[in-house]
């Protein structure tokens, strides 16, 4: 409910901010309103998506740790089974050659099963690590995009603060818009 109220408040401020321009000396007031609109949009994005992104990475970290613990328990269980097989094998060797042949066949099958389970667990951990890395790359790209937009706004304001004629000002605003569209990731 609070988010909806905040969104409505921000959208009304944005509508007011998009009001008429003043064509006096210096920087037109519409530029300030446009900058205020961008600031409002970035603050709203950070407010609404920031906790979700943090929660996602926290959950992925917890899942990764759980998978690692599960892998360790599987390895310990496999080592315990291997030790059990070795004990059974020594007993069977004492009894007869036929029992030994059977036990070895069981050991080979169990070994293959353990190897397969270990490979499956390792592949799952690898996929999860790749997913986390991809998410971090996307976050870095978003941060870079935000920084480029911020620096572009600063550069545009510096240029507009200088004594620029009406025709030059219009041309600069068009170029700025094209540059911002070109920077999108």
Beta carbons of 60 and 50 less than 8 angstroms apart: no
CA-CA-CA-CA torsion sign (140, 142, 146, 148):
positive
What is the DSSP secondary-structure string of 93-157? HHH-HHHHHHHHHHHHHHHHHHHHHHHHHHHHHHHHHHHHHHHHHHHHHHHHHHHHHHHHHHHHH
Give the CA count within 13 Å in the CB-facing half-sphere of 153.
Answer: 16
Beta carbons of 82 and 114 less than 8 angstroms apart: yes
pLDDT along the chain (185 residues), means of 10: 54 50 72 94 88 88 91 90 87 72 86 92 92 91 88 78 69 78 64
User: So what's the pLDDT on residue 27?
Assistant: 86
User: So what's the pLDDT on residue 5?
Assistant: 47
Q: Which two tokens stand for residue 133?
A: 């890395």
User: So what's the pLDDT on residue 117?
Assistant: 92
Domain extents for the chain? 2-19+27-183
Q: 3-state SS of 76-104?
A: HHHHHHHHHHHHHHHHHHHHCHHHHHHHH
User: So what's the pLDDT on residue 24?
Assistant: 56
User: Distance of CA 158 to CAs 26, 31, 64, 162, 172, Å?
Assistant: 11, 12, 47, 7, 12
């Amino acid at each position: 409910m609070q988010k909806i109220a905040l969104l409505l408040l921000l959208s009304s401020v944005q509508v007011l901010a998009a009001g008429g321009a003043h064509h006096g000396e210096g920087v037109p007031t519409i530029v300030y309103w446009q900058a205020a609109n961008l600031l409002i949009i970035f603050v709203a994005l950070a407010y609404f998506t920031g906790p979700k992104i943090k929660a996602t990475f926290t959950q992925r970290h917890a899942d990764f740790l759980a998978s690692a613990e599960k892998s360790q328990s599987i390895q310990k269980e496999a080592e315990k089974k291997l030790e059990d097989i070795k004990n059974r094998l020594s007993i069977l060797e004492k009894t007869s050659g036929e029992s030994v042949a059977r036990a070895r066949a069981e050991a080979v099958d169990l070994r293959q099963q353990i190897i397969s389970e270990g490979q499956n667990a390792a592949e799952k951990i690898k996929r999860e690590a790749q997913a986390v890395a991809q998410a971090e790359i996307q976050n870095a790209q978003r941060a870079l995009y935000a920084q480029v937009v911020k620096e572009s706004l600063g550069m545009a304001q510096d240029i507009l603060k200088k004594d620029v004629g009406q025709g030059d000002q219009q041309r600069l605003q068009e170029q700025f818009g094209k540059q911002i569209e070109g920077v999108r990731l």
